Amino acid sequence: MLDCVVVGDVMMDLILKSDRKIVNDLEFEGTNYFSSSQVVPGGSGNVAAALSHLGGTAALIGKAGHDAYGSAYVNDLESLHILARIEYDNTVSTGFAVSIVEPGGHRTLLVSRGANDRLTPEEARRNLLQLEPAKFVYLSGYSLFNSPQREAILESGRFAKENGSRVVFDPGSSNLVKSLPQVFENAVDQCDILCANQSEARVLAQGLDESEYARLRSRDGKDVIIKTGPEGCIVSSSGTLSKLPGVHSNSLDTTGAGDAFLGALIQCLASGHDINQAASFANWFAARTTEGLGPRHFPRKDDANQMLKSLQHEKILEK
């Protein structure tokens, strides 16, 4: 059984290291210079990459253009032993994101979604049928941006529930939640684990305090995690609220921190850890990932294993 099937975005990332002065002084009809750059695979594959890095088994379903970037993306997945279930579109390019990263890790994104938006419900369901069952299916709110991919994501959630997988949903963007409230409400309703940041949770809560929203939602049988940045996260399970502290890091680039958190969270849960242990480990893993440039600057596997052992030891001491 697979640990997780990720259904979402195929994106290549161009990461440009910058500072606020360069961003403020951008010449839109001239030439702008950046101190360094990287072109790396990104998108929903970051979640699958984190899972695989930690020893999990994962697959990714998505759509790419029939171009060099699409081929590079699939090659990267396969090099990480991730099952690539990628559909192709001959008429549009692979999704592409330009990330301008400033000191301290703050970033500005310029995104072309490309072929992602053309993934159909039929394609998603066919690929899910062809894969072995998974413990978890991960879905991102970014993939709800346009139809038919929107329907493909919602159909993937329905299919997962029918086949006994637990659905993990990350809203991805508070702006998207605001613009498509009913769509996101449907996605939240069908998930088993909701993982949102504070701004997303505030929009979803519709005036409720986000902690109270998490508590109420978890009484419906969901686990709810609200990420609070450097302060850590709030976890609510069966109506019981826990506040887990953050982990100090020398952050260089926050690109992909949320994906790293989710990959670590899902792999911990798939390995049998409880939700608080998994979220504590995900806090640590995401913080360490921000200490390098790019979305996949994951901590060494030996360090990750040591961190997990320490969390298990703390749990034993608590009993």
Give the rounded percent of residues in the chain with a pLDDT score beyond 90. Answer: 76
Please check the confidence at residue 114 and state whether its pLDDT lies above 50: yes
For residue 109, name the pLDDT band (cuts at 50, 70, 90).
confident
- For residue 319, is it within any domain? no
- For residue 315, is it within any domain? no
- Which pLDDT belongs to residue 37? 87
Please check the confidence at residue 64 and state whether its pLDDT lies above 50: yes
Best CA proximity match to 86, nearest among 111, 100, 67: 67
Segment 104-111 shows an average pLDDT of 79
- For residue 318, is it within any domain? no
- Which pLDDT belongs to residue 85? 98
Please check the confidence at residue 27 and state whether its pLDDT lies above 80: no
Domain enclosing residue 99, as ranges: 4-24+33-310
Cα–Cα distance for residue pair 283/153, rounded to 1 Å = 26
Tokens for 315, please give them.
Answer: 């749990």
**Encoded amino acid at 110, one letter:** L
Which is more confidently placed, 43 or 31?
Answer: 43
- Which pLDDT belongs to residue 220? 85
Segment 47-75 shows an average pLDDT of 97
- For residue 202, is it within any domain? yes
- For residue 115, is it within any domain? yes
- For residue 231, is it within any domain? yes
Cα–Cα distance for residue pair 224/274, rounded to 1 Å = 13
Please check the confidence at residue 319 and state whether its pLDDT lies above 80: no
E-assigned strand segments in the chain: 2-7, 11-17, 36-41, 58-65, 83-89, 95-101, 107-112, 134-140, 166-170, 193-197, 223-227, 232-237, 240-245
Q: How large is the greatest C-alpha to C-alpha distance in the chain, in angstroms? A: 64
- Which pLDDT belongs to residue 317? 35
Segment 252-259 shows an average pLDDT of 86
Domain count, the chain: 1
Tens digit of pLDDT for each residue in 83-101? 999 999 999 999 999 988 8
Whether residue 191 contacts residue 161, with contact meaning beta carbons closer than 8 Å, is answered with: no
- For residue 274, is it within any domain? yes
- Lay out the sheet containing 36-41: strands in order across: 36-41, 11-17, 95-101, 107-112
- Which pLDDT belongs to residue 316? 36
Tokens for 137, please give them.
Answer: 């299916």
- Model confidence, pTM: 0.92
Tokens for 11, please give them.
Answer: 């994106």
Please check the confidence at residue 19 and state whether its pLDDT lies above 90: no
Please check the confidence at residue 107 and state whether its pLDDT lies above 90: no
Domain of 75, CATH number, reads 3.40.1190.20
Segment 164-188 shows an average pLDDT of 96
Best CA proximity match to 67, nearest among 82, 97, 42, 89: 89
Tell how strand 107-112 and strand 95-101 pair up.
antiparallel
Tens digit of pLDDT for each residue in 279-299? 999 999 999 999 987 888 999
- For residue 316, is it within any domain? no
- Which pLDDT belongs to residue 105? 65
For 116, which DSSP code? G
